[in-house]
């Protein structure tokens, strides 16, 4: 049984078909790449899976349950978390608060309990604090916990965004261009980091990435989109030598 399966999802914006009949299948603990030239519809595919857009056609199944058209916060509750292409941290809040907020969706206490600070709420809050600190330690940001998140350097903001997504206890993590703007050294570290979080948190990862070294180095299977159409899928080696992929990226003469 696949963890996530999309059945011919299509997204049309009036006349423009951004994604056509996309079929993705992700199993537990897999690292999957989604690549394609700019404007191929990769982020649109993400937005359909996470509920930002409702697909014009097709279904999204998570653990064989139809989750098509649910609100983003409901999808996150099921266990799909994401990061954003252009980092979307809670800028004015501290690094620690960013991670703590991502625990809110699993909070059992109600509003009243949180205001009068019932023992049950305080236990939960303490647990969330410890869990968040452990997460920050995992991504190497524990020393910066009281820093305003917008003050972090770019690479660390990306890490914080991943930590925040992990705090929602996902089974599937969607990373939208995690290596964007990173230098070779940083992107090399990122490859190790992605494998690390997969092993530690026992999750599947679907990532959009332009950085070919990262994609080929870390992904187990790859889907290639071009103008919304899936032109290839398979193992990294096969993708690298696929004439259609080469054509989409480099053009033909």
Partner 1 sequence: MKNRNIAVLNITLDSYKIKIFTLCGIYIILGLSMNLINGFTGLFSLGHAGFMAVGAYVSALLTMSPELKDSVFYVAPINPFIKMIQLPFPLALIVGGLAAAGIAFLIGAPVLRLNDDYLAIATLGFSEIIRVVITNTQTLTNGSLGLKGITRYTNAWWAWGIAILTIFFMIWLIHGMYGKAFKAIREDEIAAEAMGISLFKHKMMSFVIGAFFAGVGGGLLGHLIGAIDPNMFRFILTFNILLIVVLGGIGSITGTIISATAVTILMEALRFIENPINLGFINIPGIPGMRMVVFSLMLMGVILFYPKGLMGRAEFNWDYFLKKKFLRNRKKSA
Q: Look up tokens 């519809």; give the residue.
A: 41
Q: Which of residues 127 and 244 has its CB atom nearest to partner 1 in the complex?
A: 127
Question: What is the x/- site pattern for partner 1, positions 28-57, by CB under 8 A?
Answer: ----------------------x-x-----
CB of 77 to partner 1, least distance (A): 5
Q: Between the CA atoms of 203, 208, 210 and 213, what dihedral angle is there, to the nearest 10 degrees?
A: 20
What is the distance of C-alpha 23 from the center of its chain?
Answer: 18
From 20, 44, 60, 82, residue interacting with partner 1 (rule: CB under 8 A): 82
Greatest alpha-carbon pair distance for the chain in Å reads 71
- The size of the interface with partner 1 (CB under 8 A), counted in residues, is 39
From 12, 25, 59, 90, residue interacting with partner 1 (rule: CB under 8 A): 90
Q: Between the CA atoms of 40, 43, 48 and 51, what dihedral angle is there, to the nearest 10 degrees?
A: -170
Q: Counting contacts by CB under 8 A, is residue 103 touching partner 1?
A: yes
CB of 98 to partner 1, least distance (A): 8
3-state secondary structure 149-183: HHHCCHHHHHHHHHHHHHCCCCCEEEEECCCCCCC
| DSSP 8-class letter at 148 | B
Quote the tokens at residue 252: 């033909």
From 68, 132, 168, 230, residue interacting with partner 1 (rule: CB under 8 A): 168
Q: Segment near partner 1 (CB under 8 A), from 25-33, 59-67, 109-117, 186-194?
A: 109-117
Give the Cα separation of 204 and 28 in Å (integer): 5
Residues 6+ apart with CB under 8 A from 29: 198, 202, 203, 204
Q: Which of residues 144 and 216 has its CB atom nearest to partner 1 in the complex?
A: 144
From 13, 23, 66, 117, residue interacting with partner 1 (rule: CB under 8 A): 117
Give the Cα separation of 157 and 165 in Å (integer): 12
Residues 6+ apart with CB under 8 A from 48: 6, 9, 11, 19, 54, 55, 60
Q: Which of residues 46 and 223 has its CB atom nearest to partner 1 in the complex?
A: 46
CB of 229 to partner 1, least distance (A): 27
Nearest to 160 by CA among 241, 228, 251, 96: 96
Q: Counting contacts by CB under 8 A, is residue 72 touching partner 1?
A: yes
Q: Segment near partner 1 (CB under 8 A), from 33-41, 104-112, 182-190, 237-245?
A: 104-112
Q: Segment near partner 1 (CB under 8 A), from 9-17, 18-26, 103-111, 234-242?
A: 103-111
CB of 37 to partner 1, least distance (A): 25
Residues found near partner 1 in the complex (CB under 8 A): 50, 52, 71-73, 76-77, 81-82, 84, 88-93, 97, 100-107, 109, 111, 114-117, 121, 124-125, 128, 164-165, 167-168
């Amino acid at each position: 049984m696949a963890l996530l399966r999309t059945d011919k999802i299509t997204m049309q914006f009036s006349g423009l078909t951004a994604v056509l009949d996309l079929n993705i299948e992700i199993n537990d603990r897999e690292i999957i790449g989604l690549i394609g030239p700019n404007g191929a519809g990769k982020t649109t595919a993400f937005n359909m899976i996470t509920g930002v857009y409702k697909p014009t056609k097709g279904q999204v199944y998570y653990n064989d349950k139809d989750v098509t058209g649910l609100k983003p916060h409901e999808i996150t509750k099921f266990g799909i978390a994401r990061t954003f292409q252009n980092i979307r941290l809670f800028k004015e809040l501290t690094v620690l608060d960013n991670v703590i907020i991502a625990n809110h969706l699993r909070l059992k206490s109600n509003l009243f309990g949180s205001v009068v600070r019932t023992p049950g709420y305080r236990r939960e809050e303490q647990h969330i604090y410890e869990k968040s600190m452990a997460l920050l330690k995992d991504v190497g940001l524990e020393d910066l916990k009281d820093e305003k998140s917008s003050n972090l350097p770019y690479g660390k903001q990306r890490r914080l965004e991943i930590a925040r997504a992990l705090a929602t206890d996902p089974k599937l993590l969607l990373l939208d261009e995690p290596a964007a703007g990173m230098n070779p050294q940083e992107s090399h570290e990122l490859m190790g980091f992605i494998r690390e979080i997969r092993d530690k948190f026992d999750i599947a990862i679907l990532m959009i990435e332009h950085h070919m070294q990262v994609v080929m180095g870390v992904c187990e299977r790859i889907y290639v989109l071009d103008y919304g159409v899936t032109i290839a899928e398979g193992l990294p080696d096969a993708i690298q030598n696929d004439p259609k992929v080469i054509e989409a990226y480099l053009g033909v003469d």
